Amino acid sequence: MKKLTLGAFEEMVLLTVGVLQDNAYGVTIKAELEANMKKNISLGALYAALQRLEEKKWVNSRVGGITEERGGRRKQYFDITKEGVKALNEVRAMRNELFDRLPANKIKWLDI
């Protein structure tokens, strides 16, 4: 079986979905991402990423209830799954391991 990979942008999206907990849907994810990444994210790119994440079973989606402020419109919420958390952990572990192996003087230089 081919190992599933987590791209950099996907990782950001997945993290954001996790961070937002029960309030993760298109608009909020986009806003959060834009705040963190300091750049415009197109909804299309976001959906594409979410779609891939869903295919990999790292997020679940559910249709949320009707709210006043959206004029009776429903929304699609995303939740991070157990596997999703695991994937994040793996990536993080790998990254930390690599980071730990950086020579000390480089780190000093990087810290400036």
> CA 14, CA 79: separation in Å to the nearest integer?
9
Site for other proteins in 3-32 (CB under 8 A): 25-27, 30
Instruction: Give, as ranges, the residues between 46 and 105 that touch other proteins (CB under 8 A).
Output: 47-48, 51-52, 55, 70, 73-76
For residue 65, give both structure tokens.
């209830």
Least spacing, CB of residue 86 vs other proteins, in Å: 23
Helices (H), 23-103: 26-37, 43-55, 82-100
Q: Which stretch binds other proteins (CB under 8 A): 3-11, 43-51, 89-97, 102-110?
A: 43-51
Q: Residues touching other proteins: how many (CB under 8 A)?
A: 18
